[in-house]
Amino acid sequence: MERVLKDFEPKKVFEYFEDISMIPRPSGKCAKIADYLCDFARSHSLSCYRDENDNVLISKPAKNKDDKRPTVILQGHTDMVCEKSYDYDAKHDFTKDPLRLCVLDDLIYAKGTTLGADDGIAVAFILSILDDDSLDLPPIEALFTSDEEDGMKGALSFDVSKLTGRYIINLDHEVEGELLTCSAGGKRVKCCLPVSYENISGRGYSIVVCGLTGGHSGMEIDKGRGNANLLLGRLLHTITKNMPYSLKYIGGGLTDSAIPREAKAEIIIDEEYIDTLENIVEKYSRIICDEFEGIEENMMIYAEDQGDDEAMCLTADSKRRIGFLLNTIPDGIIKMSRKNEGLVRTSLNSGIMKLTDSEFVLTVNMRSLAESEKDALSDKIEYLTEMTGGTYKEEYDYPAWEYVSESPLRDIAFDAYQRVYSKNPALKGFHAGLECGVFFKRIEGVDIISFGPDIHNIHTPKERLDSASAARVYDYLLEILKSIR
């Protein structure tokens, strides 16, 4: 197979990045990438531990057995968010098919899908370091965690007693030049409303909201992008105020950690309301496109006639309760930080909605730098769900990585940045959740930093890795490791 990245430097970094891009690794399906990592360890005669959740720990001692430098933990996650363009190959299966890497100038992307540079480039960095015996580095513990994108399940389940290091370098950031000092905690919940059906006949219509930008529900939540699920809910409420209809289907979004780009409803109406419906949707489309002017330039909202239809549709009460939830649940930024200008403190994303034979489920991701605010928001959503006649289910809850005023590792990284870049890094808090919070909570005395190269539009099919940035950040990482004494 012809290598797409064969001319990129550092060669080993991009060789490993291309290797892992050929390995399917959606959340919950990390066995194949774990196999690859274990094979790597065996071929390089390195100590390797793999747990039942496909977390992998590879250890490499310093060259000199009498080396007194502290052990450094290099950490990244192996899974990726799997999204594809609505017009891309419908047969592409993220559990079986490799990514199709492409290059445009210095930018690396995957044709029609997410790239998985979040956090594939971290895995490539770490493997390249483990592979290079010419480097004089402190002892390394390379921790590759599974299922980070699904509630950090790998990090939460990993036996941290296997780690001897207390310096952790997390490589799961996407803005070069920023040195992270803290990150948000998060919680995923499901709002489940019981539903019932009745047989309805009439004219069928599909109502579609698509073409939105989407993005990471932590990193891009401050961009004011549209949430397809809630925009569809608002449109259905507008229709409800103007004409009768029956709701056959509603669904949207693919993952709770991504702002949903597409949502769809199927409805049945009486023939006499065809013109009314089409006029409502056309007017709503103009209004919403105007509201999101300059933000969602490719958004489309339309109604498509499906002809005569007869199907089981939601009862009026079921439809009303779904509409109430979609139009009252908080969305986006809840509170900004008072101490750090431009930093989101608390937010909420309604990432997935699904309708089954028995219930409507809205999966919500909430994040906060403050545990108390996260819990208060959780209580609010629980109350709203139960008042709507539903049940509230927590699926995961991970802690925040709190800022500490004294950090020897941060000082080393700051000085190394000055040497490599001839300027100071930006010390930043981070609204997205990082596994740093899990290790901060579970390992006494741990000292953590996080950084990474420029990756644009993560969690979307427009994801792009800046290869030149990756090369610079790799050099920076090596400078930090060489500076640790």
Which domains occur in the chain, in start order? Answer: 11-176+451-483 (3.40.630.10), 188-398 (3.30.70.360)
Catalytic-residue membership of 148: yes
DSSP state of 443: S
CA 259 from chain center: how many Å? 9
CB 126 within 8 A of CB 142: yes
Coil, helix or strand at residue 449: strand
Residue type (1 letter), 212: L
**CA separation for the pair 56, 227 (Å, rounded):** 36
**CA separation for the pair 378, 384 (Å, rounded):** 10
Q: Which of 119, 141, 148, 176 is catalytic?
A: 148
Residue type (1 letter), 438: V
> How high is the pLDDT of residue 84?
87
> How high is the pLDDT of residue 1?
67
Q: Where are the beta strands (DSSP E) in 282-441?
A: 300-314, 332-336, 344-355, 359-368, 391-398, 426-433
Q: Which of 18, 19, 79, 172 is catalytic?
A: 79
**CA separation for the pair 386, 212 (Å, rounded):** 31
> How high is the pLDDT of residue 2?
83
Token pair for 330: 């908080």
CB 256 within 8 A of CB 364: yes
Residues β-bridged to residue 398: 186
Residues β-bridged to residue 301: 209
Q: How do beta strands 167-170 and 72-77 pair? A: parallel
Query: What does the radius of gyration of the chain's CA atoms come to, in whole angstroms?
Result: 24
CB 17 within 8 A of CB 25: no
Backbone dihedral angles phi then psi of residue 400, each to the nearest 5 degrees: -80, 155
Measuring CA to CA, which residue among 312, 292, 310, 309 is closest to residue 300? 292
Catalytic-residue membership of 2: no
Residue type (1 letter), 461: P
For tokens 């450094």, what's the residue?
72
Measuring CA to CA, which residue among 440, 398, 349 is closest to residue 185? 398
pLDDT tens, per residue, the chain with 485 residues: 689 999 999 999 999 999 999 999 999 999 999 999 999 999 999 999 999 999 999 999 998 888 999 999 999 999 999 988 866 776 889 999 999 999 999 999 999 999 999 999 999 999 999 999 999 999 999 999 999 998 899 999 999 999 999 999 999 999 999 999 999 999 999 999 999 999 999 999 999 999 999 998 988 999 999 999 999 999 999 999 999 999 999 999 988 889 999 999 999 999 999 999 999 999 999 999 999 999 999 999 999 999 999 999 999 999 999 999 999 999 999 999 988 888 999 999 999 999 999 999 999 999 999 889 999 999 999 999 999 999 999 998 999 998 999 999 999 999 999 999 999 999 999 898 899 999 999 999 999 999 999 999 998 899 999 999 999 999 999 999 999 99
To the question of pTM greater than 0.85 for the whole model, the response is: no
The helix or strand, by DSSP H or E, that contains position 181, with its residue range, turns out to be: strand 178-194
> How high is the pLDDT of residue 90?
67
> How high is the pLDDT of residue 339?
81
DSSP state of 271: G
CB 140 within 8 A of CB 125: no
